[in-house]
């Protein structure tokens, strides 16, 4: 009886292949765990940046304090001599504003301006302008206050025996300027600002009403005032010249940043150069801003 030949190598090869297949399968099955682990590590490494970014987005910026008004009257009584004409008035004007103060003749417009440059006493809860407390201001402090204000009067109040340039130099000396060259340069500078650079050696009587008012405005600008108080600056002027003065004051407000409070009853010019308006009516203030 013949023995049959058995192909052993083929059987061994089959076993090795099966083993290899099993190992490959195990490696394949392990790959998802490795991938998940790798993704987790990446996410963990990114997480701090995401947290910082989130904190930055949710951070709340600190609130900035509201600017203090340059002019503040709160429950202030205004008197003409000893007569109470405006009880408990309130006015608040911020830096850079242009405000009209209107009302009938004798309604108290000029009295409010006089109170603001400390010509009459302030009585009430709060009264301040450019950092000065008008309720407690001392007499010696009033010149310091007025150096921070530019005051424009209806009747000009120029010194008739002095030239235009000397009128300005007189004010500079009175406000403690010492350097003569600096004084002359400043006087010529403000005259140029109001368009009177060629009128410096004229006397007031040699100027028109509009030109005299421009000198008055130039005088008000000498010390770079924080506030210009103008009391009926066009009251004595013809309509054409009045328009020039309104335009000049608005230019000073818009181009130089001057804060202007202007008492007036020139309604055509108010309509042409519209701005915030406070009206005095029946001893009360009506503010267009409210």
pLDDT at 81: 84
The sheet that has 227-231: what strands, in order across it?
Answer: 149-152, 227-231, 259-263, 98-103, 276-281, 284-287
Q: Is residue 131 part of a domain?
A: yes
Q: What is the pLDDT of residue 68?
A: 84
Q: Which of 136, 134, 162 is nearest to 148 (CA)?
A: 134
Assess if residue 1 is contained within a domain.
Answer: no
Residue 198 domain-assigned?
yes
Rounded-to-integer distance, Cα 278 and Cα 171, Å: 31
On whether both 192 and 115 belong to a single domain, the answer is yes
pLDDT for 11 beyond 70: no
Q: Please report the pLDDT score of residue 129 as a whole number.
A: 97
Residues 113 and 242 in one domain: yes
Q: What is the pLDDT of residue 43?
A: 47
162 is a domain residue? yes
Domain co-membership, 259 together with 280: yes
Question: Is residue 195 included in any domain, yes or no?
Answer: yes
Check whether residue 12 and residue 98 sit in a common domain.
Answer: no
pLDDT above 50 for 6: no
Same domain, 187 and 78: yes
pLDDT for the residue numbered 60: 52
Same domain, 237 and 259: yes
12 & 117 share domain: no
> What is the pLDDT averaged over residues 90-101?
97
Q: Are residues 222 and 98 in the same domain?
A: yes
Residue where a domain stops, chosen among 60, 86, 102: 60
Least confident of 39-48, 221-230, 265-274: 39-48
Angle of helix 239-256 versus helix 209-221 axis, rounded to 10? 20
| DSSP letters spanning 119-143 | SS--EEEEEEETTEETTT--GGGHH
One domain for residues 128 and 148: yes
pLDDT at 63: 57
Q: Which residue has the higher pLDDT, 188 or 14?
A: 188
Strands 71-80 and 123-129: antiparallel
pTM (two decimals): 0.76
Q: With respect to residue 2, please indicate whether it lies within any of the assigned structural domains.
A: no
Q: Which of 27-41, 57-71, 80-94, 128-142 has the weakest average pLDDT?
A: 27-41
Examine residue 260 and state whether it is found in any structural domain, yes or no: yes
For residue 235, the enclosing domain spans: 71-287
Instruction: Give residue-wise pLDDT tens across range 114-170.
Output: 999 999 999 999 999 999 999 999 999 999 999 999 999 988 999 999 999 999 999
Mutual angle of helices 180-193 and 209-221, in 10-degree steps? 130
89 beta partners: 76
pLDDT for res 202: 96
Query: Is the residue at 49 inside a domain?
Result: yes
- Looking at the structure, tell me whether residues 41 and 124 fall in a common domain: no
pLDDT in the model for residue 126: 97
Ordered DSSP codes for 236-276: TS-HHHHHHHHHHHHHHHHHH--EEEEE---HHHHHHT--E
Q: Look over the chain and give the mean of its residue pLDDT values, rounded to a whole number.
A: 84
Comparing 2 with 269, which gets the higher pLDDT?
269
**Structural domains in the chain (count):** 2
Q: Do residues 260 and 116 both lie within one domain? A: yes
Query: What is the mean predicted confidence (pLDDT) over 254-272?
Result: 94
Residues 39-54: what's their mean pLDDT? Answer: 46
Domain of 255, CATH number, reads 3.40.50.300
For the segment 208-223, what is each residue's pLDDT rounded down to a tens digit?
Answer: 999 999 999 999 999 9
Q: In what order do the strands lie in the sheet with 83-93?
A: 83-93, 71-80, 123-129, 132-133
CA dist., res. 227 & res. 147, Å (int): 10
Confidence of residue 66 (pLDDT cuts 50, 70, 90): low
Of the pLDDT bands very low, low, confident and very high (cuts 50, 70, 90), residue 82 is confident
- Give the pLDDT confidence score for residue 17 in this predicted structure: 47
Q: Do 123 and 261 share a domain, yes or no? A: yes
Question: Is the predicted pLDDT of residue 24 greater than 70, yes or no?
Answer: no
């Amino acid at each position: 009886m013949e023995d049959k030949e058995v192909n052993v190598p083929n059987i061994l090869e089959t076993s090795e292949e099966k083993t290899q297949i099993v190992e490959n399968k195990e490696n394949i099955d392990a790959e998802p765990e490795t991938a998940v682990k790798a993704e987790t590590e990446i996410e963990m490494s990114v997480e701090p940046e995401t947290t910082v970014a989130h904190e930055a987005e949710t951070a709340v910026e600190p609130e900035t304090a509201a600017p203090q008004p340059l002019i503040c009257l709160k429950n202030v009584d205004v008197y003409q001599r000893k007569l109470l004409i405006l009880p408990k008035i309130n006015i608040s004007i911020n830096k850079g504003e242009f405000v009209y103060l209107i009302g009938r003749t004798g309604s108290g417009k000029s009295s409010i301006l006089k109170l603001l440059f400390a010509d009459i006493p302030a009585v009430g809860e709060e009264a301040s302008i450019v950092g000065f407390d008008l309720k407690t201001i001392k007499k010696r402090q009033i010149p310091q206050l007025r150096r921070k204000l530019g005051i424009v009067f209806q009747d000009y109040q120029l010194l008739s025996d002095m030239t235009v340039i000397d009128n300005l130099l007189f004010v500079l000396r009175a406000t403690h300027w010492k350097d003569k060259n600096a004084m002359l340069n400043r006087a010529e500078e403000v005259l140029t600002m109001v368009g009177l650079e060629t009128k410096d050696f004229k006397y007031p009587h040699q100027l028109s009403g509009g030109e005299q008012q421009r000198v008055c405005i130039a005088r008000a600008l000498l010390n770079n005032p924080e506030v210009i108080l103008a009391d009926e600056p066009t009251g004595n002027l013809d309509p054409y010249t009045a328009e020039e003065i309104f335009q000049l004051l608005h230019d000073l407000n818009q181009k130089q940043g001057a804060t202007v409070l202007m008492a007036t009853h020139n309604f055509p010019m108010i309509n042409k150069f519209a701005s915030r308006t406070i009206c005095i009516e029946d001893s009360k203030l009506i503010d267009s801003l409210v």
